[in-house]
Structure 1
Amino acid sequence: MKTAVVLALWLVAAWRLPAAIRVQRQRPLWAAFTSVAVACTIARPAVKRIVIEPLGITNLATLLQHAVGIAGSTFVLIFVIAMARPAALARGRWPLYGIAAASIVLLATLFALTPRPEEVHNFFEANLGHPTGTAYCMVFLGYLAVAMSISSWLFWSYSRHAAGAPLRTGLRLLGAGTAFGALYTLWRIAHMATRLAGAEFVTDDDTTQTIADLVEYLAILLIVLGNSVPAAGVLWRSVTYRRALRQVEPLWTALTEVVPDVVLNDPVGRSPRLRLHRRLIEIWDVVLVLRAYVPAQTLDAAQTATAGVPAPKRDAYADGLWVRAAWAAKLRGASPVCESVPKVNHMDDEDTDFDAEVRSMLVMAAAYRSPAAAEFARNHQEIPA
């Protein structure tokens, strides 16, 4: 289980690295996952035995693990503040770094004052009831409790305003993961405080450790999932846009053949969304030109021909029919039968639901290529389409 957790954290850190290099606001999240991955790696017995124990400082791995853990939780906090409260981060970034650095210094001081006669597997259990050891653990756990609680609150608050289901789900999973992280620290704090006071805890030490491990693993799992869901959503949208681009390409080719002037020559990059957006703009520009080649009765006939089409698709389907007829007229050199209707291209509107426009265009493209459209064009032209 622990090995799987470490591997998952390093995979996420590697996955996030390209985005962190390109986008500054992604760097705190990458640093957070890298810090947690480093902390979990330090805790592995093989790493402790080969890399850290030869330095001769008893339980040094614990201090390094907890110092890196404080750094990681600080980066998580900075990331979520930058996302949910960017104005607050402008004046709070350096105080957060200062508090984290002071906490690490205090941690190191208490570590030096804590008796460490031998290397131990679990520093929390080894220091149950010991004042300096408990104080050390309280500094580490207290910092994590505050950082994880604030992060959880901000993740959940911001998720209500997130655009798109994948991002919203990812933020809520991150909020749940940091909430379980806070729960883990509070469970540890309650256990150590109770034992320091000489009282019995609600569970025995072995059960307490088992519960703490389960909560910790659940917190890490939720955070990894929360990080992955939005990225998976972006990947899925990219695949969807590429497929849509292939489906509208025949329509774009046919329409720009008769109205080539609408094709924009500016480079658009490799983004499938931007390329699809460009294609849709150019298709709608052609549609506006072709509107002059069909009379009003042809538009009415196209609407009538959608009687068997589901209601949400009727307008787009009708567009496919009359555009096919107008295309045929323009291709054979016919003269416009009416003036083009002045119209703002709605694909340029910032409030446009792009995915809805894509779905509408796919319906229109399918209708345009259908036998029904060819028949409709023949019935509304002097020569076959």
Structure 2
Amino acid sequence: MRIVIFTENYWSGGLDVFITTLINNWPDGDEFILICNYDHPGIEVIKKRLRRPCKIIPHYFITDYRISKIWHNSLLKTWTYRILYEYGRYIIDFIQIILFTSFIEKLQPDRVIVTSGGYPGGNTCRLVALSGLFKKSWGKPVFIYHNDPHPARWNQRIPEYIFDILLEKAISALVTVSYHTQAKLSHRPVLKRSQKCKVIYNGIEVHPVSENTYNSIHNELSISKDRQIILMLATYEARKGHEFLFQALQHIVKECPRVSLIVAGFGYPHERENVNKLVNKYSLSEYVHLLDFRNDVPNLLMQAKLLVVPSQTFESFGLVCVEAMTHKVPVVATQVGGIPEVIKDGFGGFVVPLDPILFAERIIQLLSNDHLRNEVAEKGYQVFLEKFTADRMCKEYYHLLNS
């Protein structure tokens, strides 16, 4: 069977991990083709992570993201131009549905999977899903969305309502990664009522660190050997909670002065600069190291005392929490989105309300108590084996695609 996976993405991170995990652990010898926007910053990451053949095809179709960037930098910021864009885009969308249908038909797929960051998410994801209305040879696509759905703006409710009706008819299943995110479909009543909704928890592979891949982060960053490593793995988007974490860190260093916080992830230059300004604002340059996206996440986790997930909003699942579980690293996370479905207090870590002082107290507790830290980490690993393995996730998608 030939399976086409389609995505549109402008950040390198969890969605790339999901796609490569799905392909690498697929329980059959099916052929995969991945189509994504040519300017996705994670294409090289995907290529490095793939362990089985997969043809990657970049596409150059019109996306809302690129149009919005052009508009943002344009001198044509007038209400007339904005109205033309807001409503003219739907005409462009219908034209692109036809073009996408023809584009994918040439690949002769047996099934199509669309995986989107959110809903509606990247507009090309929805357009490819709508190809199911016109082309039956590859069946109805499976549509997967990973973040909370957005409500339609007041001036787009009618066309968005129509699009939702068409999408529900076009797809075979509407899958998301947590019950929290599924509940957020209340913003989209047509989809909320659909019998095609399904939740499949993300799964992840175990990547052991060998002597050949081990690299001392203490040596790399010139960190004293007696410093305990706190790790944050996230993009540099504001919603990920860097400022919240720095507020907590101010309290942590008073009780545990021998700590270093390592932040690693993808970020555009302006996002990185904003976080760097926050480090200076809270006078934490002695404790904080800001790194780019890293391919050696298992290596970093192996050397960390704990992982922190200070997200403030739109955290549908928290895949990085499961990554920490695989390496028996406890997690302290905010009580946001679908994270409480992954982390239960004492089983893999602790979930804390959006209070930086409470967040700091949990971190101090784990850093100061080796027995508790090890016990929580071991229980988290057992949760991973029961609920969040790549094998379990891929089998669920395999059966869904073949049902």
* TM bin (shorter chain): under 0.3
Of Structure 1 and Structure 2, which has the larger fraction of its residues in helix? 1
Of Structure 1 and Structure 2, which has the larger fraction of its residues in strand? 2
TM-score (normalizing by structure 1)? 0.26
**Larger radius of gyration between Structure 1 and Structure 2:** 1
Which is bigger in relative contact order (C-alpha 8 A, separation at least 6)?
A: 2
